[in-house]
Structure 1
């Protein structure tokens, strides 16, 4: 069994990135001869020629290009493992609050990226309604919160402005029935907007389900017993946007806002805010 040495693989990557042995030696804080020796050891171990030394500049052979691809991945995995197990520069926890209806698909991606950047920091995700999140934020119980609102309060910044759409069961007909059956959470910020729009349009409606359980709402809407609403881009996969052709009233656009705790904002908090902006901001 022949084992590749990470130090020699790192030298190979450095030569490729620096464009030569001399520059790679400076990058690695080694002598030129030491780097050349590491490359020679690789060639002897694998019994292949990795570099074409016939010209004035160093070029990789086909075998060298193939090994370089592996070397980059192996060095990157090594550095990631070391960083995860030894990084102590930033530690502790951050509390992030997100309305339950915009958690997917963006937030899991943000959390994964943040964890790779700051493995020693624990993210505590709080998912509930905007009203509750703002109360928690005011009490200092969250470091960063996202909200869905029709405006932005002092201290907040708007990441995106998106339409609010009617959604229902795929191929469903509940939206055609009158009175219109709707299903909402008790504290949902969309609820008063929807009710007001229906009243102004003169459409009879009934609250078929009022609950704090999102699963119950999803089950009711999936069964085509009621309709619901969602911000564009956050619709659950099991639902479809309703093409009502004007049979239902238009709904006001929603703002996705971000609020960051005042005071000494740490680098991890800044990076988390940057990731949220990148994932949820206007494209």
Structure 2
């Protein structure tokens, strides 16, 4: 019995996370043919099919589900060993806050990889609205947070923009007459304000059918066909939702801004925060690339 190839395991883990060879190829900066060949080599080596391939992407087989946690741990240990030998080992707690919209996306995968690479870091996570994150940062209850710069006091270390999309249930029919039914976020939310401004600019009447502070409930109401809403790409469920646009008479969906905030002046010069951001930025850049090419 010989050792598993780390490069082949990396191709498998990234493909499993992206759900497609094309997505994995983008993240790994390789061709699709090269990634496909790595996957075949790993399956041949193990004597088991790891991924079910279809026109809709890739799903893990039973053997794939068994291998995935081991593969992630092996990759994490490999990266952690290199960092330790290079004097970049990180210790201590990091209290990290984020808004729900990105907490249910792909960032949890990056946080998992971070924990595997830095086992001596105690990662404490908080999911809350931007206003709550702002208060916790100012009170020293968080070390770093990602949220809406318009609602968090202070200047972000880094900021980036992401597009929102008009979405509805796959079976939803736009009303020919009368107001558009809207599903909106509750509380202090700049996204809701931008959505309403966009609709008012298009001169199409609208009415609110549901207001909720929970992303999960908003997604469920969209899927039930109660109305339309704006969501980030990473929160759209393609099996049950469809993207709307100019063909349905809607104005361009707004673009939102996110920022990375730190509780002190060290910012990214803090070794733990810099190490965490390295993992988060890789995931965010992959999302931005996928969005740009969609």
- With the length of structure 2 as denominator, give the TM-score of the two structures: 0.60
Preserved CA contact (<8 Å) 1:96 1:143:
yes
Residue number in structure 1 paired with 2:283:
279
Preserved CA contact (<8 Å) 2:77 2:117:
no
Deviation per CA, 1:85-135: give whole Å up to 9, x if none: xx9x75442222222112243211211111112113222222222233223
Residue number in structure 1 paired with 2:93:
93
Distance 1:145 1:276 in 2: 11
Preserved CA contact (<8 Å) 2:158 2:261:
no
Deviation per CA, 1:164-223: give whole Å up to 9, x if none: 211111232257663111112212331111112222322211111112233322221111
Q: CA deviation at 1:226?
A: 1.1
Unaligned ranges ≥5, structure 2? 4-44, 46-69, 290-294
Unaligned ranges ≥5, structure 1? 10-65, 67-72
Preserved CA contact (<8 Å) 2:91 2:272:
no
Residue number in structure 2 paired with 1:130:
130
Residue number in structure 1 paired with 2:145:
145
Which residue of the other structure, out of 252, 266, 272, is the alignment partner of 1:268?
Answer: 272
Distance 2:136 2:175 in 1: 35
Residue number in structure 2 paired with 1:258:
260
Q: 1:156 to 1:181 in 2, by over 3 A?
A: same
Residue number in structure 1 paired with 2:244:
242
- With the length of structure 1 as denominator, give the TM-score of the two structures: 0.62
SS in 1 for 2:247: coil
Distance 1:175 1:133 in 2: 39
Distance 1:220 1:267 in 2: 42
What root-mean-square deviation, in Å, do the aligned CA atoms of Structure 1 and Structure 2 show? 3.6
Distance 1:157 1:90 in 2: 20
Larger radius of gyration: 1
Count of residue pairs the alignment pairs up: 210
Q: CA deviation at 1:229?
A: 0.7
Distance 1:273 1:160 in 2: 14
Preserved CA contact (<8 Å) 2:131 2:151:
no
Preserved CA contact (<8 Å) 1:182 1:227:
yes
Deviation per CA, 1:56-84: give whole Å up to 9, x if none: xxxxxxxxxx9xxxxxx99x95x949x89
Deviation per CA, 1:153-172: give whole Å up to 9, x if none: 75314453222211111232
Preserved CA contact (<8 Å) 1:169 1:240:
yes
Q: 1:90 to 1:272 in 2, by over 3 A?
A: closer
Residue number in structure 2 paired with 1:165:
165
Preserved CA contact (<8 Å) 1:169 1:239:
yes
